[in-house]
Amino acid sequence: MTSIEKQITELRQLLDQYNYQYYVLDHPTVPDAEYDRLMNELIALENKHPELIRPDSPSQRIGGKPLEGFEKVEHHVPMMSLANAFSSQELRDFDRRVRQELALDTVDYVCELKIDGLAVSLRYQEGLFQQGATRGDGSIGEDISQNLRTIRSLPLSIDEANTIEVRGEAFMPKRSFIHLNKAREEQGLELFANPRNAAAGSLRQLDPKIAAERQLDIFLYAVGEWEAGTIETHSERLLYLSELGFKINREWEKCQGIDQVIQYVEKWVEKRNDLPYDIDGIVVKVDRLEYHEILKTTAKSPRWAIAYKFPAEEAVTKLIDVILSVGRTGVVTPTALLEPVQVAGTTVQRASLHNEDYIMEKDIRLNDTVVIKKAGDIIPEVVRVIPEQRNKTVERFKMPDHCPSCGTELVRLEGEVALRCMNPNCPAQLKEGLIHFASRNAMNIDGLGEKLIEQLYNHQLVHRVTDLYQLNREELLALERMGTKSVDNLLRAIEASKSNSLERLLFGLGIRFVGVTAAKTLATYFGEIEKIQQASYEELITVDEIGEKMANSIVRYFATDEVNLMIGKLKELGVNTSYLGPKPTAENINSLFQDKTIVLTGKLKQLTRNEAKEKIESLGGKVTGSVSKKTDLLIAGEDAGSKLTKAEQLGIEIWNEQQFIEEIE
């Protein structure tokens, strides 16, 4: 092993260890900045030596190029759905049927939380993650491997040489859901109704970088194909999956008999809202695997398992008033002030009304009696009014014409549902902008949260992001609840943020439509903020993944004197404005694949389809799923079919696998 190979291997092992501790064990052992530094070091080495890139490298989680569509995947073992139970009596009926079929007095069950997400299947061969698919209709799903690869808790390699297919639920944690909807609301986009819809929408994005941004998670709980030795019970299988490095929901329990099952169900009916993710029921499975063979399945579901479904929770209350808040991008959001009411285990006094159109559509009025529920058991929202209980004197609510924070006239931009304050000096927007600038995905200033920013703003210590880099120790020590240690830690975090790469600064500036992925794309392409400041609409639109709306927004943002003065001041204060990540290598630039559109077809012997695709992309090529006049090259393995025929008809250059291997080597 060369010194470079050893260095790359050690970096991968270290990052895998930190990744497992953070995302599976929920026990981070190093700061985010150290993890990012090691990751950037690995990416730089792999870009310099692309022949050493492995599909299970931590660098392969960041999301590749957009797909043209999802390929179909056949499930060799069908992914069946579960029959439902809605009461304790129905659980007892299930237990009675099981015991009668097995001729037993009592049966051991395993109870697991029913995660409200998207069912997926993961296939591993020779220890490497090969493919991930949706359930689909149970027999045929869709290949979403690239999107699943971005989930940090999903292992890209395991210590198991046999072929193994594991199944589980990909989901969006509550925290990620709130963050996503807040960002969409600020952009005037339609909100996701619940975490399940958000997770499903994220995993079915053709651009895996979008999935990577959305911070999904996964729990594994079952198997399909299994060549990993003899295991006698489902509970032993869960333990073995955990030993392999899969994230297993730790709340599962083995229950002796149906009475213990019902006790488990009742416990989680009460505790479900304490979880950081959404559940919609409890799954009950017969523990012994040999009993599964005896009990068999129906056409749709196994007879050895059942899902207890929680009832939907709604509540009726009175809408007292509507209050307004102004977000970072100037969006004015109405919120209902309610008479306190219990919903899903918590007291609710506020509920989302989304926007003016939503209020008009639902005909929501002041002092109405309304029905509320928690969208995905997280964010309370008003779902409807009860018109029969409406007093004749109730008033229609009308959104204001002027900003509630600064008094500037509000506008509705073409094609949007939101009202906006366009005043860049609006106090509410300035505070939200500071919060965003300091956030984890932006400048990541540890300790600088919403409450402290509010305090700093109210004491007139900060108004612009440049003010953060001019805070001094004496000013901070004079604030409430700011002791010596807190102040020193904050100042260190602010100083450390000066060394961030350009993409963090770009995202932190809060340019409309520029998210984490677009910021990275811009930083990588231009390298320096000055070049972005000077870029024209025509130049921006040529950059991959930068669309018309985003290009217009960037040009407008940097056209203002105030912004350019701010950038200059940040430089004076020592804030880095250059991209510090890996750059394109000479090998990439001079590659035969550079800027070529390539199609893979047939069975490859020496590489998997994903390995070939990743190799082409690392050398600057673009892999698509269908042959067209725009295709530059077709690489044909064994049993190539209609794609090969079409390529021959169109006169497209065709290589066999050996030609491809010789070229990349």
Cα 17–chain centre separation? 21
Q: Give residue 229's identity as a one-letter amino acid code.
A: G
- 431 in Cβ contact with 454 (< 8 Å): yes
- 20 in Cβ contact with 557 (< 8 Å): no
Sheet containing 128-134, strands listed edge to edge, beginning at the edge strand earlier in sequence:
128-134, 118-125, 164-171, 217-226
| Distance, CA of 185 to CA of 516 (rounded, Å) | 16
User: How far, CA to CA in Å, does 632 sit from each of 594, 598, 629, 635, 654?
Assistant: 11, 6, 8, 10, 9
What percentage of the chain's residues is helix, strand, coil (to nearest 5)? Answer: 40, 20, 40
Contacts of 243 (CB under 8 A, 6+ apart): none
- The secondary structure of 504-552, three-state, reads HHHHHCCCCCCCHHHHHHHHHHHCEHHHHHHCCHHHHHCCCCCCHHHHH
Q: What angle do CA 508, 181, 412 make, to 5 degrees?
A: 80
Assess whether 296 carries a catalytic annotation. no
| Distance, CA of 329 to CA of 444 (rounded, Å) | 20
Q: Give residue 458's identity as a one-letter amino acid code.
A: N
**Three-class secondary structure of residue 571 per DSSP:** helix
Nearest alpha carbon to residue 534 among 567, 509, 499? 567
DSSP assigned state of 192: P
Record the tokens describing residue 636, joined without a space.
Answer: 């044909």
| Distance, CA of 122 to CA of 158 (rounded, Å) | 12
Please identify which of the residues 6, 48, 114, 296 carries the catalytic annotation. Answer: 114
| Distance, CA of 271 to CA of 310 (rounded, Å) | 12
User: How far, CA to CA in Å, does 277 sit from each of 85, 102, 114, 453?
Assistant: 22, 36, 11, 28
- 142 in Cβ contact with 70 (< 8 Å): yes
**Three-class secondary structure of residue 410 per DSSP:** strand
Q: Give residue 556's identity as a one-letter amino acid code.
A: R
| Distance, CA of 639 to CA of 375 (rounded, Å) | 49
Q: Is the dihedral of CA 574, 577, 582, 588 positive or negative?
A: negative
Record the tokens describing residue 466, joined without a space.
Answer: 């440049």
Nearest alpha carbon to residue 46 among 1, 9, 15? 9
| Distance, CA of 279 to CA of 114 (rounded, Å) | 5
Q: Beta strands 279-286 and 253-256: pairing type?
A: unpaired
Record the tokens describing residue 634, joined without a space.
Answer: 């077709």
Record the tokens describing residue 558, joined without a space.
Answer: 């940097």
Residues forming beta bridges with residue 219, ordered by sequence position? 169
Nearest alpha carbon to residue 137 among 196, 75, 202? 75
- 462 in Cβ contact with 434 (< 8 Å): yes
- 308 in Cβ contact with 281 (< 8 Å): yes
| Distance, CA of 354 to CA of 371 (rounded, Å) | 15
Residues involved in catalysis? 114
